Amino acid sequence: MNFRIIFFIPLVFLSSCIVSKKKFDDVLAQKVKTEGELTDKVAQLDKANASIKELNEVLDKLKTDTTALNESYRATAKKLAALNSDYDQLNSYYKNLLNNSGKLNRDLAQQKDQLLAIQQNLESTRKLNDSLSTSLVERERKVKELEQILANKDKAVKDLKDRITNALLNFKENDLTVKVKNGKVYVSLAEQLLFGSGSIEVDSKGVMALQQLARAIKDQHDIQIMIEGHTDNVPISKKSQYMQDNWDLSVMRATSITKILTAAGVSAKQITAAGKGEFSPLAANDNAQNKQKNRRTEIIITPNLDELFKILGTN
């Protein structure tokens, strides 16, 4: 199922407001701090995505290595069986030679040397076989553990998506959608559900939807939530000391949604408010319909990957 967050972003501020320089500096400093925190969070998200990719590569390598070890184990076991057979045969010859006359002493010495060499080879092969067997068992255990953790993560994401979907069933599909993409849950809220024209204040219907969403996820302490604001490429109609461009607008709308979620019980430590302005469009800003698609907020819920990182760190 495809889901998108579409909302209308034009924002009107009274440009005639008179603000003291100190207040302006405080707001500007907060903006810089917010942008810095956004950069850190984006870097953390990129690192988490890179770690997932690395984990999947390690899993693939473990599977390949396991197959190779299985083949080596079978070859070594076959060689061990052959050596055991040779040993038994030479040992039998040795015992028979002990009962023969002195003329066989030379052959007996030769056979004894061969027997000792085979015994040494047998012991070396047995140790190698035991080592390969232990390594194979450990790798198979590691592969199963990784597969189980990945399966549990996928199930947790699906369960979270189902829980959110059930919590928001009373809203129309063109108002909001929920989907899973790249191991994350994306909640999309349409513009008519969230903001009125020229406002960063969420409408009452949008507040209700966000509160219902908060009830579905507030007890999930193993997730991280990214609130991303997006706009089209149309410049804001009125600039102010607080808002200069679409980037500012997208951040302020994301912050408005963040405050509603935290007020409804979601931990502020789990949420990051971000704005991407016009720089991450869903479609080309070449007509009114596409511009409407690009004016959106995306609520991206990511599972905690600490357990996967611990397993990766032991490899």
What does the domain layout of the chain look like in residue ranges?
21-57+159-313, 62-156
- The rounded distance, in Å, linking the Cα atoms of 226 and 245 is 21
Report CA 226 to chain centroid distance, whole Å.
Answer: 14
pLDDT range class, residue 10, cuts 50, 70, 90: very low
183: left (phi over 0), alpha (psi -120 to 50) or beta: left
Question: In this predicted model, what pLDDT tens digit does every residue of 89-101 receive, in sequence order?
Answer: 888 877 776 667 6
Q: For residue 135, what are its two tokens?
A: 């390594």
- The rounded distance, in Å, linking the Cα atoms of 311 and 123 is 35
Residue count of the chain: 315
DSSP-derived letter for residue 103 is G
pLDDT range class, residue 189, cuts 50, 70, 90: confident
Question: In this predicted model, what pLDDT tens digit does every residue of 194-224 receive, in sequence order?
Answer: 877 667 889 998 999 999 999 999 998 889 9
Q: Strand 271-275 relative to strand 223-230: parallel, antiparallel, unpaired?
A: parallel
Question: In this predicted model, what pLDDT tens digit does every residue of 109-142 receive, in sequence order?
Answer: 888 888 888 888 888 888 887 887 787 787 788 7
**Per CATH, which fold does 21-57+159-313 belong to?**
60s Ribosomal Protein L30; Chain: A; (3.30.1330)
Question: In this predicted model, what pLDDT tens digit does every residue of 36-90 receive, in sequence order?
Answer: 888 888 888 888 788 878 878 878 888 898 898 888 888 988 888 998 898 888 8
Q: What is the H or E stretch that residue 230 is in? A: strand 223-230
pTM of the model: 0.55
> What single letter denotes the amino acid at residue 308?
L
> What single letter denotes the amino acid at residue 148?
Q
